[in-house]
A and B are shown apart, each in its own frame.
Chain A
Amino acid sequence: MDTLSEKDKFIGIIKDHKRIIYKVIYSYCRDAEDRKDLQQEVIIQLWKSLKTYNDTYKLSTWIYRIALNVAISHYRKDQKRLKSNTSIDEDIFRIAEDQSDEEHKDRTELLYHFINQLDAFNKAIIILYLDDNSYKEISEILGITETNVGTKIGRIKKLLKECFSQLNN
C-alpha cells in the first residue's frame, strides 16, 4: 500500500471516529489553544500506531486507548502549566455552533462540568461508560480489573449525586 492510500485510509478512520476523538479531547482540554496541541498529539500517535494495529482489537477500543493515553499525558503536563510549541494554527476538528435550544446547551455544559470534577483516570472511566463500553472493555483499556471498574463506577455515581445536590442547593 503506498503512502497516499495509507493516508486516505487513515483520514477515513479519523472521519468515522471523529466523535470519539473529539469527546476525549474536549473532556480533557477546555482551553481552545491547548486543544490544538492535543488534537495534533492524538492524530500523530494514531498515525504512528496504525502500522502496528492489530485487528483482533475493535478499532474503536484501539482509538480510545491511544486518545486517552495521549490525553492523560497531556492533561498532567497541562496541570503543571507547561506549554508546548504547536506547529499548526488551525483546528483539526472544526465544530459548528450549537444550534440547539438553551436547555440542551445548559445540560451539555452541566455534563462537561461534572466530567471536569473528576481526576484523569475517573474521567476516562466515565467517558468509556457513557459511550456504552462494557466493563470488560473499560478494564482492558485502563488496565484494571472488571470488579475495580464496577467499584469505581459506583463511586462516580455517588459523586454525581453529591455534585448535583450541591448544585440544586
Chain B
Amino acid sequence: MELDELKNLWKEHDKKLEDRIKLNEKILNKMNMDKAVGEFDKLISKSIIGRNLALVYCAISLIWVSVIIEELEFSIPAIIGSLAMLWSFVDHLSITKPDYSRISLIELQKSICKFRIHTSKTEKYDIAIVLLWFITTTPLYVKLVCKTSIYSNLKYFAIFCLLSVVISILVVALSRKTYATYDQKLKEAESDLEQIIAFEKV
C-alpha cells in the first residue's frame, strides 16, 4: 500500500465518521469549563503556588527578624532560612504556564520536558529548604509569640531539638524513597527531551 492509497482510505473513513460521531452537547453544557483545569496545568499551578509561597515564607521570616534584629542568636539563623527561601523562589522563576494554542508541538513538548527536568532536580533541595526554614524560624516564632527564648529554657529547647530531629528523620526517610522516583522521573524527562531534539533534526 502506498501513502496515497492510505490517504484515500483516510478520506473514506473521514466521510463515514461525519454520520457516526455525535457530540454529547448535554455533557458539554454540564461541564464547568471555566473552573476545569487540565492535568498538566494542575502540576504547573501547584509549582507556581509553591514558588510564591517561598516568597511569602521569606517575607514572614524577614518581618519577624526586623522586630528582634539585635538578638543575633535568633535573627542570623532566620535570615539564613529566609535567604534559602528567596533562592528557591528565584530558582523557580522560570516556571510558566504553557500556551497550547500559540506554540508549536516541538516547543510545547520541549518546555514540558524542561519543566519536568527542573522539578525533578530541585524537588530534593526544596525539601531541605523547607526543613532549614522550619528549624531556623521556630526559635524566632516562639520568642515573638510566647515571649520565651528556646535557648534559655531547657524544656523548650529539648522539645525543639526533639521535634527537629523527628522531622529531619522523617524527611530523610521519605526523601530516600522519593529521591529514587525523582531520579527516575528526571531520566525519563531527559530521554524525552533527547528524542524531541533528535526529531527536530532532518
Could you list which residues of chain A lie within 8 angstroms of chain B, going by C-beta atoms? 3, 7, 10-11, 14-15, 18-19, 22-23, 37, 40-41, 43-45, 47-49, 52-53, 62, 65-66, 68-70, 72-74, 76-77, 80, 84, 87-88, 90-98, 100, 104, 107-108, 111, 114, 119, 121, 124, 129-132, 140-145, 147-148, 151, 153, 156-157, 160-161, 164
Contacts and interface: CB of A to CB of B under 8 A. Distances in A.
Given A111-B13, A147-B202, A98 B20 contact: yes
9 nearest interchain CB pairs?
Answer: A143-B104, A49-B101, A143-B106, A130-B10, A47-B33, A96-B20, A94-B22, A69-B100, A44-B36
B66 interface: no
A121 B3 contact: no
A140 B40 CA distance: 23
B38 A45 contact: yes
Interface in B16-46: 16-25, 27-29, 31, 33-34, 36-40
Given A45-B38, A47-B33, A98-B16, A108 B3 contact: no
Interface in B109-146: 109, 112
Contacts of A164: 1
A73 B40 contact: yes
Contacts of A151: 202
B2 interface: yes
Given A70-B38, A72-B109, A90-B27, A143 B14 contact: no
A53 to B, nearest CB: 7
A18 B106 contact: no
A88 B34 CA distance: 15
Interface of B: 1-3, 6-7, 9-14, 16-25, 27-29, 31, 33-34, 36-40, 99-109, 112, 188, 192, 195-196, 199-200, 202
Dominant secondary structure at the B interface: helix
A139 to B, nearest CB: 9
A142 B17 contact: no
Nearest to B189: A76
Contacts of A11: 23, 25, 28-29
5 contacts: A43-B33, A45-B101, A108-B9, A130-B7, A143-B104
Contacts, number: 163
Given A53-B101, A90-B24, A160-B3, 12 more contacts: A18-B21, A18-B23, A44-B33, A45-B38, A48-B100, A65-B105, A69-B108, A92-B23, A98-B20, A129-B3, A142-B106, A151-B202
A121 B199 contact: yes
Given A43-B31, A100-B16, A160-B1, A92 B202 contact: no
Nearest to A150: B202
A80 B188 contact: yes
B107 A143 contact: yes
B21 A93 contact: yes
Contacts of B9: 107-108, 111
